[in-house]
Amino acid sequence: MNDSIEKRLLVYVLAITTIFLLGISIVNYSWARYQVERLSQDKATAIADAATARIESYLLQRGQNAWTLAQNEQIHAFAKKVKSQPVDLEHDSDYQEMMTSFQRIVSLNQDIKFMYVAVAKIDRLFANMEFTYPENYDVTNRPWYQAAAREETLVYTAPYVCPLTAKYVVTASAPFYDEQGNFLGVAAVDIPVERMQKAIEEIHIGSTGYAFMLDENGEPIANPESPYYRKYIKSLKENKSVMDEIKGRMTTGEKGIAEISMRQSNNYLLYSPVSKVGWSVGVIVPVNEIRRDSDRLGQFSLVTVIIGMMVISLLITGLTSRITKPIMEFANIMQRAEKGDFTVRATVDSQDEIGMLGNSLNHMLRQQENLIRQVISMANKMGVAGHELAITMSESRTTLPVVTSELSMLIGRSYIQGTDDRDSLENPPNIQLFMEEMIAWNHLCRSVFSQIGALSEAMPSLKNTVSDLPEDFLMSYDIKSLIQKTKDLCKLSESLLIDYIDIYNYVNGVGRNLDDYQNTLQIINQQINSIANIQLDATNRATETAGELVKYSQTLLELASSFHIQKDEDESV
C-alpha cells in the first residue's frame, strides 16, 4: 500500500519525535548557551573583580607607606627645622631617621624604588635617592602635591612619567601638619605601574580576551612602550567612538557588562571600579569564544538527535509493525467483505483496543451475513408473491369486464320485466261492471222511451216531464226498474270515478317512479362502467407492479447471490 497506516504512523511519530527532540535540543542549547555565557560572564566578572581587588589592595598597601611617612614625628620635626633654618643633613638626626624610614619601606616593598617628602616652605624634595631637578621644576605645582594639599588625605594620581626617575608611576601622597594644624608638606611614594599592568596582563579569558585599566579621566593605565599596550590598549583608542559611552560609565564608578563591536567582531566588555582611586578595570571577551563551548554543545546535541532519531526509527518501525499488523489484517478482511465474502473472520489474540476492534468486526460480519440471508429469504417470498399477484391480476383483468357487462344486462332486464308486468295489468273490475250496467240501463231506457212514445201518441196533452206522466205508468215495473238502475248506475259511476282518480294518481306515481328508476339505472350503469374502468386500470397497474416486484425480487436475488455466506444445514435452496 502506498499510503499505509504504518507509514503514516511512522511519519507522524517520527515527525513528532523529531520536533520534540529538536525542541528539547534547542531549549537545552539555548539554556546551555545562556548558562555558558552567564558562567563566562560571571567568570570574567569574578576575574575582573579579583584583579580590581588586587590592584586596589596593592595601591592601598603601597599608599599606606605614604600615609605612614606623613604620620612620622621625625619627619614633622625635620620639616619644621628645615623651613626655619639651614640644616646639616649629614649630621641631623631627624633627617637620618627619615632616611632610615625610607630604607625600611624600600626593604619591605621591593617594587617601591622612590619616595620623598616635599617641605612646603622651602619648595624642595627630600628623597631616598639622589636625583637632579629638571629645569623649571616646581614642587608645589605637581599634581600629587596639589591633590594632597587640597584633599587633606591620602590621594593617588593618574599614571604619569616621573620627571625625576623617568618611570611610569602612580604617586600616592598624604599631607602632614604640625601640632597647631599648620600645613608642613606632603609625603609621597611612587608606585610603579608595571606591577599593576602585570596584574592586568595576567587576566586572560579565552585565547584573545584581555583586560585594561582606565584612570579617572578615561585614559588607559599602561606603559605606552609595552607590547601589551601596542597589542591591545591601542585598539581601544582606535575604537574611540565605541568606547566613549563605556568610558563614561567606567569613570563614574559603575559596574556592569556591555556588548561592543571591535575588530569586526562582537565582544563583551565587563567593567568594575577601583573605588579608592577612581579607576576602573575592564575585561574584553570575544563573544565567539564564550559561545564556542555552547556551539560545541549544540553540535553534540545535533549529533545526539540524529543518532537518537535513527535508534527511535528502528524502535518505532518494530513497534508500529506490531500495532499495524492486526489493522492490516482487518483491512484485508474488509476488502474481502467488500467483494462479497462475509464468511471471513478476524483473528483476535488480545483483549486491548485492537482485540475489541476485531470482536466488533466479527460481530458486524455475522450481522451482515444474517441480514443478507434475511434479504435472500424475503426476496424469494417477494418473488413468489409477485408471481401470484400477477396471475391474480391477469384473471381479474379477464373476468371483471364480463362480470360488469352481465350486471348491466341483469339490471336492464329487471327493468324491462317490471315494465312489462305493469303493461299487462288487467282492467279494474269496476269498469267491466259499469259497462254491463250501462248496457242494461241503455236497453231499459229504450224500452221505457218506447213506452213513453206510445203513450205520448195516445195522449198528446202530456208534458215533456216525468211528473206529467200518469202515476200508474210511473208505477209500472220498467220505470221503477229504470229509476233503480239509474240510481245504481250513478253509485257505480261515483265509485268508478273514485277508482279512476286513484288509478290516475297511481299511474302518475308509477310514471314518476319509472322515471326515477330509469335515471337511477342510467347512473348506476355509468358508475358500473366507471368502476369497471377504474378496476381495469387498477388491475393493469397492479399487474405492472407485480411484474416490477418480480423483476426487483429477481434483481435482489442476483445481487444477493454475489455475496458469499455460510449455508445453514436446514436451509432450502
263 band by pLDDT with thresholds 50, 70 and 90: low
Q: Quick one: 1-338 is in which CATH superfamily?
A: PAS domain (3.30.450.20)
3-state secondary structure of 128: coil
In order, the DSSP letters of 442-468 are: HHHHHHHHHHHHHHHHH-TT--SSGGG
- pLDDT value at residue 218: 79
- pLDDT value at residue 175: 94
Give, in order, the Cα–Cα distances in Å from 211 to each of 44, 206, 227, 493.
Answer: 10, 12, 14, 172
Identify the helix (H) or strand (E) that includes residue 7: helix 5-70
Residue 540 has pLDDT above 50, yes or no: yes
Q: Tell me the C-alpha distance between 347 and 355, whole Å.
A: 9
Considering the entire predicted model, what is its pTM?
0.50
Q: What is the pLDDT of residues 76-131, one digit of tens each?
A: 888 888 876 676 777 788 888 888 888 898 888 888 888 899 988 887 888 888 87
Q: Tell me the C-alpha distance between 437 and 449, whole Å.
A: 18
- pLDDT value at residue 470: 58
Is the distance from CB of 531 to CB of 404 less than 8 angstroms? yes
- pLDDT value at residue 518: 73
3-state secondary structure of 209: coil
Query: Of 428 and 386, which is predicted with more confidence?
Result: 386
Is the distance from CB of 51 to CB of 157 less than 8 angstroms? no
396 band by pLDDT with thresholds 50, 70 and 90: low
- In this prediction, residues 397-417 reach a mean pLDDT of 60
Residue 174 has pLDDT above 90, yes or no: yes
Residue 356 has pLDDT above 70, yes or no: yes
Residue 415 has pLDDT above 60, yes or no: no
Is the distance from CB of 159 to CB of 153 less than 8 angstroms? no
Q: Tell me the C-alpha distance between 265 and 453, whole Å.
A: 185
Residue 204 has pLDDT above 50, yes or no: yes
DSSP 139: G
Q: Tell me the C-alpha distance between 259 and 92, whole Å.
A: 61
Q: Which residue, chain included where needed, has cell 229504470?
A: 482
What cell does 255 get? Answer: 559596574
To 10 degrees, what angle do helices 93-108 and 73-84 make? 140
Mean pLDDT of the chain: 75
Q: What is the pLDDT of residues 22-73, one digit of tens each?
A: 888 788 777 877 777 777 777 777 877 887 888 888 888 888 899 998 998 8
Q: Tell me the C-alpha distance between 433 and 439, whole Å.
A: 10
| Positive/negative CA dihedral, 280, 281, 286, 289 | negative
Query: Of 389 and 187, which is predicted with more confidence?
Result: 187
Three-state DSSP string of 528-567: HHHHHHHHHHHHHHHHHHHHHHHHHHHHHHHHHHCCECCC
177-191, 220-234, 458-472: range with lowest mean pLDDT: 458-472
Query: Of 405 and 327, which is predicted with more confidence?
Result: 327
